[in-house]
Amino acid sequence: MSRLVYPVPTNETLGVHAVVDLGGRLRFGPDIEYQKGRVQDYRVDEKKRSAFGASVRRILPHIRDEDLTPDMSGIRPKAAGSGRARQGFRHTEETDRGLPGLINLVGIDSPGLRPHRQ
């Protein structure tokens, strides 16, 4: 695989997609799970393996749940909460905060930039 593969996005997520990392490993992700309050535990929940595997099989049907190994978790801030339509990201130039030249992208849903739709 030499290109990124993205499924059709939903209102809440761009979906699980496939990427080849710099080491040549094929990786899939991310999935989505809204959190309430402060997150203290970044472990990947093994109970999600089957649902995640089903998402991966939309891209590569021959992948079995047993072929997948949890790798990492993290937090991606979102501009819209659960059940709300995806919003375009906001950007600000942070000179007023003492950070000249810093462009802050808030709520970006994509690894690439796309136009904001109203």
Q: State residue 109's pLDDT score.
A: 61
Regarding whether 84 and 101 lie in a shared domain, the answer is yes
CB 60 within 8 A of CB 67: no
Regarding whether 42 and 96 lie in a shared domain, the answer is no
pLDDT digits over 74-83, tens only?
777 666 667 7
Regarding whether 88 and 53 lie in a shared domain, the answer is no
Q: State residue 29's pLDDT score.
A: 84
Host domain of residue 22? 1-75
Q: State residue 95's pLDDT score.
A: 94
pLDDT digits over 82-112, tens only?
776 666 667 889 999 999 999 887 766 655 5
CB 106 within 8 A of CB 89: yes
Regarding whether 6 and 63 lie in a shared domain, the answer is yes
Q: Give the pTM.
A: 0.63
Token couple for 55: 């998402």
CATH number of the domain residue 39 falls in: 3.30.9.10
pLDDT digits over 9-34, tens only?
666 666 788 888 889 888 888 887 77
CA distances from 54 to 15, 37, 103 (A): 12, 29, 37
Query: Of 112, 57, 108, 55, whose CA–CA distance to 86 is shortest?
Result: 108
